[in-house]
């Protein structure tokens, strides 16, 4: 499944590059969109290699928990 996601990412990125060439999109648009594709590809590779600890929400919950204790409501 990870291979499928990475392949889909690369193919869709290539399709987007073709679209931008045809439309002659400005540099800012290209940079933003290609950056997002790169981030998505990076996350896909990290998922495939199990580099991400599957607990991304923990820091957020801890932060809100501390705010909760600060206000004395938790």
Partner 1 sequence: MSSRQLTMLLALHYWGSALLGLPSMMIGLSGKDAWAPILLGMLFQMLIIPLFVAIYSQMNGDTMGQYLVRTLGKTAGKTMLALYLFFVPFLIFILTLRSLGDFTSNDLFIETPPSAIYALILFALVYCLYKGFNAVCRSTEITFPIALVLLVMLLLSLIYGADWSNFLPVFEKGVHPVVEGTINFMAYPNSEVALSLFLVPLMKNKQAYQKALIHSTWITGITLVLLTALIIMVLGESLPPNMPYVSQFAAKTVTIGGFYERSETVVTVIWFIVIFYRLILTFYIAAHGCAELFGLKQHTGLLIPLALASIPLAMNVWDNPSVIAELNEVWYLNVFFFNLLCPLLWYTAHKLRNRVKSS
- Integer Cα distance of 46 and 56 in angstroms: 13
Residue 17 in contact with partner 1, rule: CB under 8 A: no
Distances from the Cα of 34 to the Cαs of 58, 60, 69, 74, in angstroms?
A: 29, 28, 41, 43
- Among residues 12, 14, 18, 21, which is the contact residue for partner 1, using CB under 8 A? 12
* Number of DSSP helices (H) and strands (E) in the chain, helices first: 3, 0
Shortest CB 52 distance to partner 1, Å: 5
Site residues (vs partner 1, CB under 8 A): 1-2, 4-5, 8-9, 12, 16, 28-29, 32-33, 36-37, 39-41, 43-44, 46-47, 52-58, 61, 64-65, 67-68, 74
């Amino acid at each position: 499944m990870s291979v499928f996601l990475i392949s889909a990412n690369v193919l869709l990125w290539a399709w987007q590059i073709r679209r931008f060439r045809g439309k002659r999109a400005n540099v800012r648009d290209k940079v933003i969109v290609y950056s997002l594709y790169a981030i998505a590809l990076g996350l896909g590779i990290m998922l495939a290699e199990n580099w991400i600890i599957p607990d991304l929400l923990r820091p957020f919950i801890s932060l809100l928990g501390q705010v909760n204790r600060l206000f004395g409501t938790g």
